[in-house]
Amino acid sequence: MAHPGWRWGGAFVALSALPLAAANGYQQYLLDLIMINIVLAVGLNIVKGFAGQVNVGHVALAAIGAYTSAVLSIKFGLPFWFALPLATLATGLVGAIVGVPSFRLEGAYLALATLGLAESVRIFIAVTDYLGASVGYGDIPAPIIAGWRLDAYAAYYYVVMPVAVIGTYIAFSILHSDVGRPSRRSARIRWQPRLPASMCANTNCSRLSSARFMPDAPAAWQRIWRPGSSTPTTTT
């Protein structure tokens, strides 16, 4: 099924007007948070909703991207727009390293493996002074576009909202591709993990694409849970 461009364009226009309806800064902050969580939820939906795999390691990938972008910005002085793709690549690399060995795991075993990743990342961050330990990072430079400093919640919205729309579009594109088609064809995949294999589908490719690709974007954008800060609590 194709995705008519006018629908996505209409959604983009409608979402662009939302900050105008926000009564205060807190509501604008909630809008930012909603957009970030949309991308996280869409990525998790591919893994758990369609591929039927119990993955609890998404938050670890989000934390890796968040702290990578923060370190690159604060410690190395890279602008946000350079730190973002580098953090995304780092998150994708970690996702691949964890995802490839997990090809042989499913069900509770996959859940335990991804839970171990999530807890390992949380503990590592909490005890590493270079990463701010339990205090976290502050004074993270805000993105700048054509001299406009995006240091307000309303301004941040127009950074995270396009990412949410694009991420959702990419997720639907994956599900309608050769990689995601077996998951989409049968809802029974949730209860029969081997069904795609019986359909001659590459389940490893499907799992790795869903477990690695989609968390990349929210991972790097997690640094803006609260503009200017990143802590173990807000990222993990």
Residue 223 DSSP symbol: G
Q: Would you say residue 17 lies in a domain?
A: no
Helix then strand count (H, E) for the chain reads 12, 4
Q: Answer yes or no: is 1 within a domain.
A: no
> Does residue 8 sit within a domain?
no
Q: Which residues contact 114 (CB under 8 A, 6 or more apart)?
A: 54, 55, 56, 57, 60, 98, 102
Are 71 and 141 in contact, with CB atoms under 8 Å apart?
A: no
H or E segment to which residue 25 belongs:
helix 25-44
Q: C-alpha angle 55/235/151, rounded to 5°?
A: 135
Q: Which domain holds residue 209?
A: 25-235
Residues with Cβ within 8 Å of residue 26, at least 6 apart in sequence: none
Q: Is residue 76 part of a domain?
A: yes
Per-residue pLDDT of the chain (236 residues; tens, 9 = 90+): 445 677 888 888 899 988 888 888 899 999 998 998 898 888 888 777 777 777 888 888 888 988 898 899 888 988 888 988 899 899 889 888 888 887 777 778 888 888 888 999 999 999 998 888 888 777 788 888 877 888 888 888 998 899 889 888 888 887 777 766 665 554 444 545 555 445 444 545 545 544 444 444 444 444 444 444 444 444 43
Q: What is the count of structural domains for the chain?
A: 1
**CA-CA-CA-CA dihedral for 63, 67, 12, 185, to nearest 10:** -30
Distance between CA 143 and CA 147 in Å, rounded? 10
Residue 40 within any structural domain of the chain: yes
Which residue is associated with the tokens 């961050």? 125
Give domain status of residue 212, yes or no: yes
**Residue that the structure tokens 């990938």 belong to:** 61
pTM of the entire predicted model = 0.74
Exposure string (b/e) for 22-59, b if CB count within 10 Å is 16 or more? beeeeebbebbbebbebbbbbbbbbbbbbbbbebbbbb
Q: Is residue 11 part of a domain?
A: no
Residue 9 domain-assigned? no
